[in-house]
Copies of this chain bind each other. A is one copy, B any other.
Amino acid sequence: MSSRDPHPLTAFAQRLGSRVPLSEPASAAVLALPHSVRVMPAGEHIVRERDRPSHCCLMLSGFSYRHKIVANGGRQILAIHMAGDMVDLQNTFFASSDHNVQTLTQCEVAFIPRTSLEELAFSFSSVGKAMWLETLIDGSIFREWIANVGRRNAKQRIAHFLCEFAVRLEAIGLGETCNYELPMTQEQIGDVVGLTSVHVNRTLMALDREGLTERTRRSVIILDWQQLARAGDFNTHYLHMPEQPSALA
C-alpha cells in the first residue's frame, strides 16, 4: 500500500474514534479488519430484500441509498449513505434483509465479513460502543424522517432534506454547507420525502423563487441558510454530531 493510496479503513477508524476514544490496539484492530474493496457503478444493488448478507459494507466514496418497494409499486427511500457510513450493520445480524440498498453514483465500497466485525465489537468494547452509537444515530435519523414525511408539508420536507444533506456532507469534509452537488434526480428526492417528482419540482422552483436556494442541474446553492433551516424546521440535534458546528442553527 503506497502513500498515495492510504489504508481504506483509516477514515472508518477515525469516525469510530470520534464517537468513542479508541486505544492504540483498538484502532489497530479496526485497521486489521479483513476486507475487499470494490468499485461499483451507479444503479447497482449492494443488498436486495430477502438476501442474507454475509458481509457488511463500508462506503469509501460515492453515494448509496436504502429503499423499500410498497404494494402499488411506489418506492420509499429510507436513507442516503455517503463516505464513511457503515451500510449494513442494519441487516447483517438479521436472518434476511428487510430492504434494498443500491448505489446512487459510482461507489467504492469495502466489504467486511460480518463475523469479523462482530468479533471485533466484542473484543474491544470501545469499538463495540462506537459501532452501537452509529446504529443508534441511524435510528435517530430514521425517526426524524418519520416526522418529516408524517407531519411536514412539501416545502418543509424538501427544505429539511436539503439542510440535512448539506450538514452531513460537510461533516465528512465534502463540499461546503451552502454549495454542493446533490446526486439525485427529482424523482429520487420525491422518493425520499414521500412526494411525486412533479410536486418536488414545483416546490424546488418555489424555494428558488423565494430566494432561499439557487439550483442548476444537480448543484444546490443555499443562499440563506438561516431561512432555509427555519423553513424546514431543521435542527442538527438529531444528528448527534461529535462537535456541533456553532455556525449552523
Q: Interface residues, chain A, CB within 8 Å of chain B?
A: 66, 68, 70-71, 74-76, 78, 89-90, 93-96, 98-99, 118, 121-122, 125, 128-129, 132-133, 135-136, 138-140, 142-147, 149-152, 156, 193-194, 233, 237-238, 240
Instruction: Kindly report which residue of chain B lies nearest to residue A94, judged by CB atoms.
Output: B240
A240 to B122, CA, bound (A): 23
Instruction: Kindly report which residue of chain B lies nearest to residue A67, judged by CB atoms.
Output: B147
- The answer to whether residues A98 and B237 also contact, given A136-B135, A139-B90, A156-B71 and a CB cut-off of 8 A, is yes
Which of A99, A138, A150, A156 gathers the greatest number of chain B CB atoms within 10 Å? A150
A193 to B122, CA, bound (A): 38
Q: How far is the CB of A87 from chain B (nearest CB, A)?
A: 13
Q: With A68-B147, A78-B147, A132-B132 given, can you name 8 additional A-B contacts, CB distance below 8 Å?
A: A76-B147, A98-B140, A118-B129, A135-B136, A138-B139, A142-B146, A149-B149, A150-B193
- The answer to whether residues A143 and B142 also contact, given A93-B136, A98-B240 and a CB cut-off of 8 A, is yes
Question: Which of these, B71, B89, B125, B233, contacts A70 with CB under 8 Å?
Answer: B233
Q: Is the CB of B99 within 8 A of A151?
A: no
A147 to B98, CA, bound (A): 12
A75 to B146, CA, bound (A): 11
Instruction: Kindly report which residue of chain B lies nearest to residue A19, judged by CB atoms.
Output: B93
Q: Is the CB of B151 within 8 A of A75?
A: yes
A72 to B135, CA, bound (A): 29
- Using Cβ atoms and an 8 Å threshold, which residues of chain B touch A139? 90, 135, 138-139, 142
- Using Cβ atoms and an 8 Å threshold, which residues of chain B touch A149? 146, 149-150, 194
- Using Cβ atoms and an 8 Å threshold, which residues of chain B touch A147? 68, 70, 76, 78
A66 to B233, CA, bound (A): 19
Which of A66, A133, A149, A156 gathers the greatest number of chain B CB atoms within 10 Å? A149
Q: Is the CB of A136 within 8 A of B194?
A: no
- Using Cβ atoms and an 8 Å threshold, which residues of chain B touch A193? 150
- Using Cβ atoms and an 8 Å threshold, which residues of chain B touch A125? 122
A99 to B238, CA, bound (A): 9
A129 to B147, CA, bound (A): 29
Q: How far is the CB of A208 from chain B (nearest CB, A)?
A: 21
